[in-house]
Structure 1
Amino acid sequence: MGRGRAKAKQTKVARELKYSSHDTDFDALQRELSSDSSPGNGHEDQDDNEDPYDDGYDEYRR
């Protein structure tokens, strides 16, 4: 119980996002997407051949 107020708030926010008109600055978006000064994808320290899901622990270690 007690979710009524939280759910109403979420519904209100969702409606505002869905039905409000946003002024999008497409020029700024284009500059941001096409800039070459970005540092990359944020995974510079990761090797290309390294398993991204390896946590460093062996399951079968005895």
Structure 2
Amino acid sequence: MGRGRQKAKHTKIARELKSYSPNVNFSALESELGHPSSDDDQYVDKWADQYEDEDEDELERA
């Protein structure tokens, strides 16, 4: 292939890629990757109910 035809082919491919926008199902992708769907329990300490709260006074005495 000559340089002109090669450049035209690359230009055509570049235009196709630029205008290409696939349909993505983000919820399916999120579940496939194992990311939790809700952020409500992101900051919940799941071990908090197993230990008693320590007061700051007790920490200063120790």
Structure of greater relative contact order (alpha carbons < 8 Å, 6+ residues apart): 2
Larger Rg: 2
